[in-house]
């Protein structure tokens, strides 16, 4: 398996993502973006990239802050995320740049998907909302507030949601389903009861804040995600 830093650019900013792929699966593979949580690209997302590469996907883990920047503290992470939250068109351009970088890789066969965790879930939804030409989009304990402009959503969409997530409450999820009904021809939601934010991450240990790891939800969401990607990208 190859796992290396991958440099790409939109002409304004240089990005340093992580490219992971396994040549044992051949030189024509579907491509998947992974958008990280708000701290920036780190070991958790790289581990997920390696797991997907072992299943036969070429994976680009996204650097949406630029220059490989990763927050050194929660305060810094909020500040970095705030800059992109305040400029959603910039966020969309950076996600489309990453998708273009993935699609241009020689081992990628043109079938493209994207998945994201927490703030990365919002990034993936905004990518889909931009009208980008991918086949699968997955938000995992994401945040749902829409940008000002929404185009027809081309990919199939899977939402993996903790019902007790304080950052995405039931009314927020209901609003998203209305948006998807209007803009997307193929969407589904899997909600996990008694489950909060960041449920896939073993490092999430703040139940008093509604953020805690759930092994059962993590396992079920991974099974759903991999089945969905296989259907849309390999079927």
Give the residue-averaged pLDDT of 163-170: 96
Average pLDDT over residues 133-156: 97
Q: For 177-201, write each residue's pLDDT tens digit.
A: 999 999 999 999 999 999 999 999 9
Output the pLDDT for position 217.
Answer: 97
148 phi-psi bin (left φ>0, alpha ψ -120 to 50, beta other): alpha
Indicate whether 139 pLDDT > 90.
yes
| Residues 76 and 5: beta-carbon distance below 8 Å | no
Residue 122's contacts (CB-CB under 8 Å, 6 or more residues apart) are 116, 139, 142, 143, 144, 145
CA distance 200 to 203: 9
> What is the average pLDDT across 11-20?
95
Using the predicted structure, report yes or no on whether residue 170 has a pLDDT greater than 90.
yes
Is the CB of residue 200 less than 8 Å from the CB of residue 141?
yes
What are the φ and ψ backbone dihedral angles of 163, each rounded to 5 degrees? -60, -30
Integer Cα distance of 62 and 92 in angstroms:
13
Per-chain mean pLDDT for the chain = 96
| Segments forming the whole domain that contains residue 147 | 2-234
Domain total for the chain? Answer: 1
43-64: per-residue pLDDT in tens? 999 999 999 999 999 999 999 9
- pLDDT tens digit string along 88-104? 999 999 999 999 999 99
- Is residue 2 over pLDDT 90? yes
pLDDT at 12: 87
Answer yes or no: is pLDDT of 156 > 90: yes
Q: Are 126 and 89 in contact (CB under 8 A)?
A: no
- Residue 183 sits in a domain whose CATH number is 3.40.50.1820
């Amino acid at each position: 398996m190859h796992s290396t830093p991958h440099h790409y650019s939109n002409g304004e900013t240089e990005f340093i993502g992580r490219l992971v792929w396994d040549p044992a699966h051949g030189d024509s593979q579907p491509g998947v973006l992974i958008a990280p949580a708000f701290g920036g690209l780190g070991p958790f997302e790289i581990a997920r990239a390696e797991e997907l590469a072992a299943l036969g996907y070429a994976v680009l883990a996204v650097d949406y802050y630029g220059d490989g920047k990763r927050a050194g503290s929660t305060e810094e992470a909020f500040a970095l995320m705030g800059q992109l939250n305040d400029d959603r068109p910039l966020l969309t351009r950076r996600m489309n740049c990453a998708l273009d970088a993935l699609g241009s890789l020689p081992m990628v066969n043109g079938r493209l998907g994207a998945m994201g965790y927490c703030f990365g879930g919002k990034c993936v939804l905004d990518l889909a909302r931009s009208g980008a030409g991918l086949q699968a989009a997955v938000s995992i304990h994401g945040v749902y507030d829409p940008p000002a402009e929404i185009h027809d959503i081309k990919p199939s969409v899977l939402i993996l949601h903790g019902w007790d997530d304080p950052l995405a409450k039931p009314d927020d999820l209901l609003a998203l389903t209305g948006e998807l009904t209007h803009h997307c021809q193929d969407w589904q939601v899997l909600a996990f009861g008694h489950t909060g934010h960041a449920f896939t991450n073993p490092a999430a240990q703040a139940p008093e804040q509604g953020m805690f790891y759930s092994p059962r939800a993590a396992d079920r969401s991974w099974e759903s995600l991999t089945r969905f990607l296989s259907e849309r990208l390999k079927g």
